[in-house]
Amino acid sequence: MQEFLLQASWWIPCYGLIGAVLTLPWLTGYIRRTGPRPAAYINLVMTVVALIHGAIAFQASLHLDPQPIVLHWFKAADLDLSFMIDISPVSLGAAELVTGMSILAQIFALGYMEKDWGLARFFALMGFFEGAMSGLALSDSLFLSYALLEILTLSTYLLVGFWYAQPLVVTAARDAFLTKRVGDVLLLMGVVALATIAGTLNFPDLYEWAETATLSPTVSTLLGLALIAGPTGKCAQFPLHLWLDEAMEGPNPASILRNSVVVGCGAYILIKLQPILILSPVASIAIVVLGTMTAIGASLVALAQIDIKRTLSHSTSAYLGLVFISIGMQWTNFALLLLFAHAIAKALQFMSVGSIIITSSTQDITEMGGLWSRMPATTTAYVVGSAGLVGLLPLGGFWALREGVNAFWYDNPWLVAVLLLVNLLTAVNLTRVFRLVFLGSPHAKTRRAPEVGWAMAVPMVSLIVLTLLVPAMLQHLYLLPDWAYLNQTAVLLLALSGLIGCVIGASIRLTRVWSRPIQAPLKFLQDLLAYDFYVEQLYRVSVVWGVNVLSKASAWFDRYVVDGIVNFVGLASILSGESLKYSISGQSQIYVLTILLGISLLGILLIYPMW
Amino acid sequence: MLSALIWLPILGVLLVGLLPRSVPPKTARVTTLIVLGLAFIWSVVLGSQFDVVNPDAQFQEVLPWIERLGLTYRLGLDGLSLPLVILNSLLTWFAVYSTEESIQRPRLYYILVLMLNAGVAGAFLAENLLLFFLFYEVELIPLYFLIAIWGGAQRGYAATKFLIYTALSSILILMAFLGAVWLGGGTSFEYDTIHTQGLPLVAQIILLGILLVGFGIKIPLVPFHTWLPDAHVEASTPISVLLAGVLLKLGTYGLLRFGLGLFPEAWAVLAPGLATWAVVSVLYGALTAIAQTDMKKMVAYSSIGHMGYILLAAAAATPLSILATVFQMVSHGLISALLFLLVGVVYQKPKPAISPSCGGY
């Protein structure tokens, strides 16, 4: 039985998709009598099935030796597209994390989206989303992964654009789609190039090829840069980072998944690609540079945000930046550990944020305050989530970051500094948000703020417990370091950076009502950070403007030059015909004269060369 | 067997045309749908009987017609034409199904659609150059009327433009066909008896060039494309579906069948240029599409871009890329048909069909 379920692991992504398909009668309005709720339950049941199947397969994968699964899809001429499915504890664990997060987010959505008329559509999209993500976790073929990334792009578009009647949502969905497309198209170039050069797209064969491959530096650099472009877009890294911030316009339960596991999917692909990226030193450096820029930049930008979801989404970008650094430095263990810890802690934070938003009907943290006594579970969730993220208390984030500090300790001390700085800034920001939202005196929108109902509280509390248990899980999987070999200075520094961050966050002066600093430099700094370093405006005047002008020019050329010539030819023939028609007079002497003139002209032309 | 695909719709033409006046228009619609449904089922049956391993034309039918001209009624089906034949009957059915029931002059409309279907099927099935040419011409006439009668405000302009362009394309194709056969001293226009290898390379390149322009108008390739956006904007939604989904495929089909099939040597010489042309067409179509404000024009220009990919793959002319052209033809047929149906839905809403103002949909 176990063996069978293990070999049938490729079913795990299918459950979510089946759930999405089964929702169709409610989604299309074919069944109206029952309301959209049964659709939600169907998707929940399918996710539970996926979770159970995944759990059994995961257990089995720890002691059984799995056969690689190859699905042949398409074979024509010299093209053989076969999908390899990776059955290993890591991939099944990742799929399990995805389905687990999905089920919590879906239960949460039952409460959060309770009165939404598009409930069925939302759950169908969640099923679709989950299927694509767990497929990505299991895929062992670059081609399949690419296809699933595209599905993720599509479902992100649909989920962000869920409330499509609002103009901001429409632009957010469009930007998310187009930004990710830029990355995806570049990735596709890399995939196609790799298929041609290596002759295969299955990861094990690619690794084998990469060990012996000799490429010219230009080819390997271009290939490497193309391959990192896709994950850069998915993980919201500079320069393709703006969509995640905007995507916070979407429903919160989808944001839970997006900030925890979806961004992780991009990094997961990058981890899978890492043995190929080694071929190109430039690409590795590029990953580290992009990761560093995003990690520090996004941490700073988060400090100036007043939208509770956006400030947390920038911190997601920052953490994924750290993951990028670790992949670039070839410390994939650290990357996986950080992804895992971040996914759980960030999901918890977003649940807490969702509860706050549904209760207070606002996302502006300057309008909040004093929620701690009114919403104890939500407060606990925020605190535990933050503790799990920041390297201070010995929870998931701490151990993950410690692994990183340890990894870079001897060879790349400056990266240790980056890590500590990001940790410090995150701590400052999370403390700032905590003070504004939960402490202080209640405001108009937070005065009557009851704790959320069970549908939202149960997943939140479960995730609190889960976050607290992360160290135990790591211990169980032998991922925690031995006490004897612990680099005590590193641990101390890490905890110190977290502590300093909290202290700074607790001591800075916070003006509740939105007011501007008086000093000009400070004002400039605040604007700079609040508007994402003006990157959006920069894009507007460069890329967007360029494409706009080019397309306008080409449309003008098409309309007035190409079509103009065509119409001119038409007009010329009509005009000449119309004017010649006046020569029809009925007088034979004029006809004779015309004939005579014509013949004389011909005659002159004939004898002209003889002169 | 194959003749059924051509003559079944013609039978439908007679049926719809001979219905008494007292019969409600709905009967004409249902009759058309049944006839086209049968044609579709028949094409699928043929597909299931098709021997995939056999590279030759299958289910061949030969009837002598005008022997002295080299014209015979010879049909056949191979791997290139089979998907397109199925696509043709499928999309025509959907086009008729998506037609409004309250359309003006319903019987004439259905007759013309059926004739169009027969003409396109004949062009895909023909195994004789002259027969292909005849069907290629037959398909123009109903389409001209379909645009000119049921089109939008500028339908006369668009339909005439379409007709002039495509007639020009036909003349060029006929020139190339006659040249390919007569310059080689042949008398038969059967596909498999034509040998252009004996011709000097320059002659081959010239003939191929004429053919390229001829089919380039139909595909359409930049800069011979301006009839397409106009025709799409003015044509009604079902006709747009047919135009983009099926009729443009005649151009790429001809390019592969005759351009690559009859002049492989010249094709190899011109291939780099063709690839460049294709890329220009793709980029030009895509860029121009961005700047359009009319949704139908936007889809039409992106359609131009997507058809360019087919030429790009055909220029490579490897077994895999030829397969890719067939894939792209079918997928473009389905995608553009769907897109035009969607645009048709948006057009029916009371808002103007200008895309920037369509944010709420």
Nearest CA-CA partner of B217 in B270, B288, B163: B163
**ipTM of the complex in this document:** 0.85
The reported pLDDT for the residue numbered B361 is 40
Measured CA to CA, the distance from residue B326 to residue B347 in angstroms comes to 31
Cα-Cα-Cα-Cα dihedral of A329, A332, A336, A337, to 10°? -80
Put simply, whether A182 touches B (Cβ < 8 Å) is no
- B226–A547 CB contact, under 8 Å: no
Q: At B131, phi and psi to the nearest 5? A: -65, -40
With an 8 Å Cβ cutoff, the interface of chain B facing chain A consists of 161, 164, 222-223, 225-226, 284, 287-292, 318-320, 323, 359-360
The reported pLDDT for the residue numbered A515 is 57
- B291–A555 CB contact, under 8 Å: yes
- Domain of residue B286: give its range: 3-354
The reported pLDDT for the residue numbered A66 is 67
Measured CA to CA, the distance from residue A222 to residue B259 in angstroms comes to 36
Distance from chain centroid for Cα A576: 62
Q: Residues 6 or more apart from A271 whose CB is under 8 A from it?
A: A327, A332, A335, A336
The reported pLDDT for the residue numbered A511 is 66
Residue whose structure tokens are 């870079």: A408
The reported pLDDT for the residue numbered A329 is 87
Domain ranges of chain A: 1-140, 174-519, 538-610
User: Token pair for residue A568?
Assistant: 């001119």
The reported pLDDT for the residue numbered B339 is 93
Considering only the beta carbons, identify the residue of B288, B292, B323 that sits closest to A76. B323
Measured CA to CA, the distance from residue A57 to residue A4 in angstroms comes to 9
Which DSSP letter does residue A447 get? S
Q: Chain B: nearest CA to A571, how far in angstroms?
A: 12
Measured CA to CA, the distance from residue B42 to residue B4 in angstroms comes to 8
| Interstrand relation of B58-66 and A79-85 (parallel, antiparallel or unpaired) | unpaired
The reported pLDDT for the residue numbered A449 is 80
User: Token pair for residue A26?
Assistant: 């409610």
Bond from prior residue into B223 cis (ω within 30 degrees of 0): yes
Residue whose structure tokens are 């929620």: A371
Higher pLDDT among residues B68 and B12, named by residue? B12
Put simply, whether A171 touches B (Cβ < 8 Å) is no
Measured CA to CA, the distance from residue B129 to residue B261 in angstroms comes to 12
The reported pLDDT for the residue numbered A77 is 67
Per-residue model confidence as pLDDT tens digits over A515-567: 566 677 777 888 888 888 888 888 888 888 999 999 999 999 998 999 899 89
**Exposure string over A409-433, b if 16+ CB within 10 A, otherwise e:** eeebeebbebbbbbbbbbbbbbbbb
Per-residue model confidence as pLDDT tens digits over A85-104: 888 888 888 888 899 999 99
Return the half-sphere exposure (C-beta side, CA atoms, 13 A cut-off) of residue A590: 6
Measured CA to CA, the distance from residue B96 to residue B91 in angstroms comes to 9
Which DSSP letter does residue A66 get? P
pLDDT at B186 over 80: no
pLDDT at A513 over 60: no
- A562–B223 CB contact, under 8 Å: yes
pLDDT at A461 over 70: yes
Q: Which residue of B has its CA nearest to A555?
A: B288
Asked if residue B361 is part of any domain, the answer here is no
Q: Chain B: nearest CA to A562, how far in angstroms?
A: 7
Percentage of chain B lying above the pLDDT 90 cut: 57
Please report which confidence band the pLDDT of residue B119 belongs to, taking 50, 70 and 90 as the band edges.
Answer: very high
Mean pLDDT taken over chain A: 86
Asked if residue B360 is part of any domain, the answer here is no
Stated length of chain A: 611
Per-residue model confidence as pLDDT tens digits over A139-154: 888 888 999 999 988 9
Distances (CA, A) of A224 to A159, A342, B18, B294: 31, 26, 68, 40
The reported pLDDT for the residue numbered B360 is 41
Which DSSP letter does residue A481 get? P
Asked if residue B314 is part of any domain, the answer here is yes
Domain count, chain B: 1
Burial of residue A408, with CB atoms counted within 10 A of its CB: 0-12 exposed, 13-18 middle, 19 or more buried = buried
Measured CA to CA, the distance from residue A120 to residue A108 in angstroms comes to 15
